[in-house]
Amino acid sequence: MSTASAVNLDGGVAVITGAAGGIGAALAHALAVEGSDLALVDVDQAALTAIVATLRDRFPNVSITEHAMDLSQPTAAEELVSQTLSGHGRITLVINNAGVALGGLYEQVSMADVDWLLSVNLRATMAVTSASLPHLQTGARIVNISSLFGIIAPVGNVAYSASKFGVRGFSLALREELRPRGISVTSVHPGGVRTGIARNARRGQAVNEADWALGQEIFDKLLVMKPADAARIIVRGIKRRKARILIGPEAYVGDFLARIAPVGATRLIGALMERKSGLRPPR
């Protein structure tokens, strides 16, 4: 693709959910470098305020608003869009990045835990998109952060994989619906990015201490890519109008395995995770 056809992010207004850390904070920095104004959203008000202060100090010409809210709440998405329009006047890019994790085999977690996870990972993505759509013009972009686990589904990640497969399916269908309006939809599938999502995961009610500690150790070994590197890949993909973005070798391997062995990929990826970490997860 020629440079002339690349998306120009300078002067746009980007909404980024889950912006107080990890990939979200790195995306905020990367988009500020591009000249985008920012509406940053997170449930962690203290961390969000710190990120916003740092960005304002480094990028004084970028307009940044902070929105501390819990997107799992029914009216949060509409409030977010209303506040963003009040502060910036328009929205040109929506990045649905907010996400949480739940540790344990499916029989070890409660439906209350599952509802919580789905309310953040899937419903909030759909709700923020729904609230934003009436205000998006031709050329706007929606970027939904799915996961490697939205392509393959390892043991111990039933609810999380269900939510991320949901984000992937939502993105695929929405992309075609919005094509006539000239609004693009991108799904992003990060592999082993070193964020706090595993460390901050909710522990299933029946998961014992030893299995929980082992799971944390496994993911600590597997999550190695810096969020800033992931953010650069995502921004480059947005500028190149990519419909799907894979991040990290794990994502490419998982995508390949899902294509050649759609039924056996879960077992294969589990074996690869065990080999790379040197640890065997609980069964």
Report the alpha-carbon distance of residue 202 to residue 206 in Å, rounded: 12
Amino acid at 101: A
**87-117 as b/e: b if 16+ CB within 10 A:** ebeebbbbbbbbbbbbbbbeebbeeebbebb
Residue 282 lies in a domain: no
Structural domain span for residue 81: 3-276
**21-58 as b/e: b if 16+ CB within 10 A:** bbbbbbbbbbbbebebbbbbbbbeeebbeebbeebeee
Instruction: Give the pLDDT confidence of 56-106 residue by residue, as tens digits.
Output: 999 999 999 999 999 999 999 999 999 999 999 999 999 999 999 998 999
Phi, psi of 278 (to 5 degrees): 75, 10
pLDDT of residue 218: 61
Instruction: Give the pLDDT confidence of 198-245 residue by residue, as tens digits.
Output: 667 778 887 868 766 766 666 665 566 799 999 999 999 999 999 999
Q: Over 60: is that where the pLDDT of 29 sits?
A: yes
Report the alpha-carbon distance of residue 213 to residue 195 in Å, rounded: 17
pLDDT of residue 121: 97
CATH at 207: 3.40.50.720
Residue 283 lies in a domain: no
What is the DSSP code (8-state) at residue 225? B
- Cβ 38 vs Cβ 55: under 8 Å: yes
Q: How confident is the model at residue 270 (pLDDT cuts 50, 70, 90)?
A: low
Q: How confident is the model at residue 268 (pLDDT cuts 50, 70, 90)?
A: confident
Put residue 225 in one of left, alpha, beta given phi > 0 → left and psi -120 to 50 → alpha.
Answer: beta
Instruction: Give the pLDDT confidence of 143-194 residue by residue, as tens digits.
Output: 999 999 999 998 888 999 999 999 999 999 999 999 999 999 999 999 877 6
Rounded to whole angstroms, what are the CA distances from 85 to 38, 78, 97, 134, 248? Answer: 11, 11, 19, 12, 35
pLDDT of residue 204: 82
Which residues are identified as catalytic? 160
pLDDT of residue 4: 44
Report the alpha-carbon distance of residue 265 to residue 263 in Å, rounded: 6
- Cβ 174 vs Cβ 142: under 8 Å: yes
How many domains are there within the chain?
A: 1
